[in-house]
Amino acid sequence: MRNIMQTKKKWFAIAWTALLLCVLCGSGFGQNPTASELLQRGIYLQETVGDLDGAIRVYRQIARMARESRADAAQAEYRLGTCLLKKGQQAEAINTFQRLIKEYPEQPELVAKARLVVEQEPIVIWKVGSPYTGDTPSTIIPPDLARSAGKIGHKVEILAFPASGFAKTFQDAFEQNQEPDILVIDNYGIISGLSAKAGALGREEVFPGIGSNPKVSASLMKTAGSLSKLAGERGGWEFLFSTSRNYEAARSLVLRPPECSLRGRWLPVPKEFQTVAATIAAAYIEEKDSLLKPLEDTDRLNTDIAEPQSRTVSGTKECGYSGNDYLAFLPMVLRYESPNTLGWVNLLLILRKQQDQWRLLAASTDPISNTDFVSRIPELISSIPEARGPGKDPSPAKLLAPDDGESPEPVSGERFGHFTWQTSPSPDVVAEIVEFAYDNDSRLFIHFRRGETPAQSQISDGKLWYTRSPWRWRVWSIADSISFSEARWLKH
């Protein structure tokens, strides 16, 4: 009897479908259906026939007709999301609801209903401990990150794992579309694989890399800057997965407006710098030489970029200003996207006034320049004497070793060699800046002059990192004006 009833119900639905199509075809619907007519077809397939796949195809067609009727397109997006939920396609459903929220703000009732679904899904973060220590990381949520997530209507959930056994845990989750939205690691071997002596007993253990799965590798998206507090003081890497259930929300968290974490005696950025700084910063990060060259100082130390990147800047935040009549330091944070990375980048601009125009003397995204060096800038500016009218530049420093094109040689028993220079003999020099330029970037160090002027000064080769590109270095002598030593190339 049950089979007979089901068969009758099935034929009844088919008959009604045929009747509806006949009516619609008679009204011209079959040839050029409107968005509204298509919506009625989709609702019928979803609610009366129970054909979710057919309804999904119709709703997607309507969503592409947003110019014809945004109200119908928004309704189709919402119904598409509900169909995907019924089919168990959670990640795609959440992405659909998030698209509705973002693209149809003029449809408040649908947006509110979509938010109710989306906000039930937290942004899930997995943190993995070190393969060498066997630790399990903290699950404390940084308060400012929780606030930022709240602003986009989400909560954050953190789960922590030791490195041992993590690869299998992750692969099992990935196969069930239960992978995290964000992954935080302190050793890249979690991605690439490694062997390490792990734990208190120091036993050799093999850690398979999750990136060995091509599908996982293809879904990885590296983030920069905006999630760095998750890694803590030790630093590390943060990744998104484009396949995760709440990818769009995690992406929005990564690309939230840039924030500054600058400390010290910094002043608000004067109006005269706001436009020029934003222009230079965007041109520099996007590697647009045609825009940057006219704004460069004649003494800027240029180096070629080993691996050019395609980056798009979508937000700029000036964090402060320290400077005088001829020299300006401007720390900034920029939001950007590239094909394989998105997030924030810290940028330090150093501008010098030439012929009544502020021009770019140096720019740096280098982590040392944007931490240790930046922290000492206010002290540098406060120690520079006021100019007493036109005068001579200080005598420049003289580079001593290594020779042009060579690297420092360590002396017996030492791991690193040294860069050595003869300091400027000018008595009014208050500090010297050592600039190491690479990949169109700069690593900067300050040597303050205290007490008697030393005949020579030096800096260890160990303070640099290794790249696959040539470097140049020189010394700035800072008084009420600047002089520069010669610049030398080095292999590093």
pLDDT tens digits, 212-266 = 999 999 999 999 999 999 988 778 999 999 999 889 889 999 999 999 988 878 9
The distance between the two most distant Cα atoms of the chain, rounded to a whole number of Å, is 107
Which amino acid, 207?
F
Higher-confidence position of 93 and 4: 93
Q: Kindly state the percentage of the chain with pLDDT values over 90.
A: 62
What is the rounded distance in angstroms from the CA atom of residue 473 to the CA atom of residue 98? 49
Is the pLDDT at 20 greater than 70, yes or no?
A: no
Q: What is the pLDDT of residues 338-352, one digit of tens each?
A: 998 999 999 999 999
Highest mean pLDDT among 30-39, 203-212, 275-284: 275-284
133-173 residue pLDDT tens: 888 999 999 999 988 888 777 889 999 999 999 999 999 99
As a whole number, the mean pLDDT across the chain is 87
Within 10 angstroms of residue 52's Cβ, the number of other Cβ atoms is 15
For residue 264, what pLDDT is reported?
A: 79
- 54 pLDDT more than 50: yes
SS3 label, residue 322: strand
Q: 225, 324, 199, 345: which is closest to 270 by C-alpha?
A: 324
Asked whether the whole model's pTM tops 0.95, one would answer no
User: CB neighbours of 485 closer than 8 A, spacing ≥ 6?
Assistant: 396, 397, 398, 399, 421, 474, 475, 476, 477
pLDDT for position 71 = 92
- Bridge-partner residues for 99, per DSSP? none
Phi and psi for 388 in degrees, rounded to 5? -105, 40
Label residues 236-249 b or e (16+ Cβ within 10 Å = b).
Answer: bbbbbbebbbbbbb
Return the higher-pLDDT residue of 60 and 23: 60
Enter the CATH code of domain 271-490. Answer: 2.60.40.10
Cis omega (within 30 of 0) for bond into 470 = no
200 — pLDDT class (breaks 50, 70, 90) = low
The highest-level CATH class for domain 123-254 is alpha beta
- Interior angle at CA 124, CA 119 and CA 126, nearest 5: 170
- Average pLDDT for 38-67: 90
Distance from C-alpha of 216 to C-alpha of 219, rounded to nearest angstrom: 5
Distance, in Å, from the CA atom of 117 to the CA atom of 113, rounded to the nearest integer, reads 7
Mean pLDDT over 434-455 rounds to 90
Domains 123-254 and 271-490 share a fold: no
Q: What angle do CA 438, 441, 447 make, to 5 degrees?
A: 90
Copy the structure tokens of residue 166. Answer: 């993590």
What distance lies between CA 240 and its chain's CA centroid? 11
> What CA–CA distance (Å, rounded) separates 212 from 408?
39
Cα-flanking dihedrals φ and ψ of residue 119, to 5°? -70, -15
Place of tokens 């041109």: 283
Beta bridge partners of 477: 432, 483
Question: What is 2-118's CATH topology?
Answer: 1.25.40
Query: What pLDDT does residue 404 have?
Result: 94
The winner for highest mean pLDDT among 154-163, 298-307, 447-456 is: 154-163
Element (H, E) at 478: strand 471-478
Q: Can you give the residue ranges of every domain in the chain?
A: 2-118, 123-254, 271-490
Q: How confident is the model over 465-486, as a mean pLDDT?
A: 92
Q: How high is the pLDDT of residue 112?
A: 87
Q: What proportion of the chain, given as a percentage, has pLDDT over 70?
A: 91
- C-alpha span between 467 and 141 (Å, rounded): 34
What is the pLDDT averaged over residues 101-129? 87
What does the alpha-carbon distance between residue 361 and residue 484 come to, in Å, rounded to a whole number?
12
Residue in the block written with tokens 């690439």: 192
Residue 438 has pLDDT above 80, yes or no: yes
